[in-house]
Amino acid sequence: MELRQLSYFVAVAEELHFGRAAAKVRIAQPALSNHVQALERELGCQLFIRTTRRVELTRAGETFYARCVGILSEIDLSAEITRAVAGKTFRKIKIGTVYPATTGVLPAFLAKIAPQVSGYLHPYCQRQHRRHYPQPGKRPDQSRLHPPGGKHRLAALLLDRP
């Protein structure tokens, strides 16, 4: 079993479409299918239910997906920690935001308080949240969603003020 196969499997599990998953991982669709089939042979079970119209995870596939996401996340974290120990720190954070925050004060604020952190701001609305981030490993590190016109408001504080 190779890490590459796990990455390919995760892509198909997240897209539930071999063509889109192949584009996501930049590999030809037939090659992606071959890798997934080899993984299924090695595991001795079917990970996907394939029809001409759709792709679904089996129960075994759901379990394997959760484990693969954890494994791949641990590998990414291990690489980041190793770079940090070597003095080549590169930290990143994903933040889900509503549109005005994506282009306004938030990027400047993050650059000021944590210049060593690479931020990725992803604009979306609450309805899109579940569709774009159905799996725990792919959700933003932080997001705060409230219904439009709700009681919650944003409060801003100046950091350089005594």
Q: Which of 22, 46, 80 represents a domain boundary (last residue)? A: 80
Q: For residues 42 and 160, what is the distance between their CA atoms, to the nearest angstrom?
A: 58
Domain count, the chain: 2
Domain identity same for 51 and 21: yes
Q: Are residues 31 and 76 in the same domain?
A: yes
CB-neighbour burial class of residue 131 (10 A; exposed 0-12, middle 13-18, buried 19+)? exposed
Last residue of a domain, one of 36, 61, 80: 80
Residue at a domain's end among 80, 115, 146: 80
69 versus 109: which is more confidently predicted? 69
pLDDT of residue 143: 47
In this prediction, residue 112 carries a pLDDT of: 74
Residue 63 has pLDDT above 70, yes or no: yes
Q: What CATH number does residue 63 fall under?
A: 1.10.10.10
Please tell me whether residues 42 and 99 are part of one structural domain: no
Q: Could you tell me if residue 85 is inside a domain? A: no
* Angstrom distance (rounded) from CA 103 to CA 119: 13
* Higher-pLDDT residue of 51, 157: 51
- Comparing 13 with 133, the larger pLDDT belongs to 13
For residue 33, the model assigns a pLDDT of 94
User: Residue 51 belongs to what domain range?
Assistant: 3-80
Q: pLDDT higher for 125 or 57?
A: 57
The answer to whether the beta carbons of residues 15 and 27 sit under 8 Å apart is no
Q: What is the DSSP letter of 104?
A: T
134 conformational bin, left if phi > 0, alpha if psi -120 to 50, beta if neither: alpha
d(CA 58, CA 4): 21
In a domain, 65, yes or no: yes
Contact 9, 2 (CB under 8 A): no
- Chain position carrying tokens 């504080």: 157
Please determine, for residue 113, whether its predicted confidence score (pLDDT) is greater than 70.
no
pLDDT at 84: 75
pLDDT value at 145 more than 50 = no
| Residues 71 and 119 occupy one common structural domain | no
In this structure, are 76 and 94 located in the same domain?
no
Q: How confident is the model at residue 8 (pLDDT cuts 50, 70, 90)?
A: very high
Q: Is 116 helix (H, G, I), strand (E, B) or coil?
A: coil
Residue 86's H or E segment, with its range, is none
Both tokens of 156, joined, read 């801003």
**pLDDT value of residue 158:** 53
Q: What's the pLDDT score for residue 128?
A: 46
Given a cut of 60, whether residue 106 has pLDDT beyond it is: yes
